[in-house]
Amino acid sequence: MAISLGISRAPTIHSVRTRNEITPVLRDLILLQSKFEDLKFSLIYSAHSMCPLIRSGRVEPEDFWVNCQFLRGLGRCDYFEVSKNVGVGDVEPIIRSSSNHVSVVRNIAKILKSCPYFTLTKLALQSDYVVVTYPYVFVKEFFESLFQERSMAEYSLIVDEAHMIVDPATIYSYEIPGLRVRAAIDEVVKYLGGDAVIEEFLIKLLKVVESSPANGLRLVDCNGLNLDEELLNHIATTALEVKKTVLKELLRRGVPIPLVMGSKVAITKVAALLLRLVDGRFKLFTYRYGGEHYLVTTAVDHEVIKDILSSYKYVVMMSGTPPPEEFVRRAVGLEEVAYVDVLELGAKSPYDNIAVLLTTQLTSKFEVRGEEIYTLYSKYIDVVDVLIRNVKLIIYPSYEVMSNIVKYLRRGFVERRDTTIEDLLKSLNRNTLVHAVAGGKLCEGIELTRNGRSLISCVFIAGVPYPQEDDYVREVIRRLALKLPVVEGRDYVYNLNASIKTLQAVGRSIRSEGDSALVVLGDRRFLYKGLRKYLALRNFKLIKGLEEFKFYIERLAKEFLP
């Protein structure tokens, strides 16, 4: 329905959170082409992932674009040179015959010997419908790099996974480890002979990073670091000088072009992260995870989202767990909002296919955390793992809680901060117990199916996924308090956020009308009124202890689950 609406209001940009979500839209567009014969469409995701020269390893976007521009300027990228002469008629048959977004890119490089990004960009400028990942919609510089001289106001916009607007950090967040800052200092000295101003600043910044707390984000006082726009621009200019010096040296040494394209320097990422601070609605934070320290620049004001969405001529926001209308109006600031509930239009509710148990013995509330409660959680999860077939998805409120519980189970696939969906898929033959963090890639980005049916039989929410009360959360609440009562702002930040993360996790288990699944709400706080008003999980069985839990799990495994 959304795609048909987008076609009727063309030209339209359809934005998805991850590149894996492009493929379902692509398939629908290929089918619709039989009805709309003149329909032209294209797709774009991260250019560094589309580049045929990047064959192994990972290169940051900031590094990639400087590498790409540098080599293109010298005429050293054969794929780009070919793409100059590729016509739209050459590309469209490849798209129609490809099964997914990855094969489109591979086939353009293999068959046409052309750069997939620039070839699909050329098609995008002539298309009625363009499928892109979030940055090309929500970051103005990315939009302008893709659509060139065109204005956002010329396009209609479809936003998939629109519940992301509840938390600005899920859309606008840039992170580097503290080791990058140290490496950036060394690069300035090695390649440019030093720069006293930048070295002094980065040394101060490194000290701040290395004092970051073990839990939560801590706000960095940029005034105390004497960080202003002039210094930011100087860092950016210096980063470019370092990068070009490295690239020239690699070419002088005769390093193969693919290795040159994949080359990295730390200061480019440092500069990109800091440049976001030119916009006062972004703040700099530090945190510690394990033995590593990190820097994060993230948006703390929903106005950033409002400014972007209000720039398009027409916007459709889609989500299985949409934020309420009053949030969009009052917190985000978008006034002209109309809600359409597909259930009212006859769609089948996924909640008809789930059984819900709420365990009152469990809670991940901070005050009661300790080995006793972690052990108890592991016993409940063990029951689920032993008695229920297929995949069991266990969702934790944080990495810390997850690690403290998993150490008692000692089995299953455990999400890390750098985990990819591909990592999980490779492990499924060995693991049917999957441990993931609420709001992460595996909680919201996976679709584990076989022949259209879900492989997930149970979703266990091991604690209410409230955001940790740290400097980031306090800053967001402070910004909301400028336009909302504090109580209302806190309700959105805590209860709405936790409810959406919970429902997103639940939604992983029901992917077709024939699926059925068990949902375990493993925290007595799910009885709180503030949470229940947002949750669609109304009818649940209260479970008071482990033996009662075993009884119902055995019964549901036999009578309800696949």
The CATH number of whichever domain residue 33 belongs to comes to: 3.40.50.300
Which whole number is the average pLDDT over 220-238? 94
Cis-peptide into 11, omega within 30 deg: yes
Residue at token pair 């967001």: 476
Q: Are residues 363 and 395 in the same domain?
A: yes
Secondary structure class of 24 (helix, strand, coil): helix
CA nearest neighbour of 362 among 214, 548, 201, 86 = 548
Mean per-residue pLDDT for 375-381? 98
Question: Three-state secondary structure along 1-15?
Answer: CHHHHHHHCCCEEEE
Round to whole Å and give the CA distance between 506 and 462.
Answer: 12
Distance CA 395, CA 387 (A): 18
- The position carrying tokens 């090309």 is 136
pLDDT band at 56 (very low <50, low <70, confident <90, very high): low
Q: Which of 160, 193, 224 is the last residue of a domain?
A: 160
Query: What pTM does this model have?
Result: 0.91
Percent above pLDDT 90 for the chain: 77
Domain co-membership, 181 together with 108: no
Q: Provide the token pair at 261.
A: 């394209």
Q: What is the pLDDT of residue 345?
A: 53
Whether residues 552 and 443 share a domain: the answer is: yes
Residues 395-406: tens digit of each pLDDT: 999 999 999 999
- Report the SS3 class of residue 310: coil
Extract the tokens encoding 213: 């707390």
Q: CA distances (Å), 462 to each of 236, 405, 502, 521, in order?
A: 43, 9, 10, 7
| 128 and 225 belong to one structural domain | no
363, 246: one domain? no
**Pairing state between β 456-461 and 391-396:** parallel
SS (H, E, C) 313-339: CEEEECCCCCCCHHHHHHHHCCCCCCC
Which stretch of DSSP H or E encloses residue 176?
strand 173-177
Does residue 346 surpass a pLDDT of 70?
A: no
Q: What is the average per-residue pLDDT within 317-323?
A: 89
pLDDT at 440: 82
Q: Which two tokens stand for residue 209?
A: 């990073």
Closest CA to 74 of 221, 257, 265: 257
pLDDT category at 136 given cuts 50, 70, 90 is very high
Whole-angstrom Cα distance, residue 69 to residue 63?
10
Residues 6+ positions from 290 with CB-CB distance below 8 Å? none
| pLDDT (0 to 100) of residue 348 | 61
- pLDDT at position 171 is 95
In a domain, 387, yes or no: yes
Q: Give yes or no for residue 344 having a pLDDT over 60.
A: no
Answer yes or no: is 73 within a domain. Answer: no
Residues 6+ apart with CB under 8 A from 332: 165, 302, 305, 306, 309
Look up residue 24 and give its two tokens.
């379902």
Domain shared by 180 and 295, yes or no: yes
Any domain includes 344: no
Q: Are 86 and 112 in contact (CB under 8 A)?
A: yes
188 and 137 share one domain: no
Positive or negative CA dihedral for 497, 499, 505, 509? negative
What is the Cα–Cα distance from 257 to 16, expressed in whole angstroms?
Answer: 32
Q: Is the pLDDT of residue 486 over 60?
A: yes
Same-domain status, 183 and 237:
yes
Quick one: average pLDDT of 146-170?
94
Question: How many structural domains compose the chain?
Answer: 3
What pLDDT sits at residue 57? 62
Q: Which residue has the higher pLDDT, 536 or 9?
A: 9
Is residue 433 domain-shared with residue 478, that is, in the same domain?
A: yes
- Per-residue pLDDT, averaged over 338-355, amounts to 69
Q: Percent of the chain, pLDDT > 70?
A: 97
Which uninterrupted H or E stretch holds 140?
helix 140-147
Q: Do 390 and 435 belong to one domain?
A: yes
For 243-294, give the DSSP string: HHHHHHHHHHTT--HHHHHT---HHHHHHHHHHGGGSTTEEEEEEEETTEEE
Q: Would you say residue 262 has pLDDT above 80?
A: yes
Residue in 528, 479, 499 with CA at minimum distance from that of residue 305: 479
| End position of a domain, from candidates 160, 194, 220 | 160
pLDDT band for position 33 (cuts 50, 70, 90): confident
Fill in the DSSP letter of residue 108: I
The answer to the question of residue 166 being in a domain is no
Tokens 């033996």 correspond to: 547
Residue 511: the pLDDT is 78
Q: What is the pLDDT at residue 270?
A: 96
One domain for residues 122 and 189: no
Domain that holds residue 187: 173-299
The residues, ordered by sequence, that sit 6+ positions from 257 with a Cβ below 8 Å of its Cβ are 53, 71, 76, 77
User: Looking at residues 408-423, what average pLDDT do you find?
Assistant: 87
350 pLDDT above the threshold of 80: no
Pair (192, 145) in one structural domain: no
Mean pLDDT (whole number) for 322-329: 93
Residue 406: both structure tokens together: 């998993």
Return the structure tokens found at 352: 């008809």
Q: Is residue 194 part of a domain?
A: yes
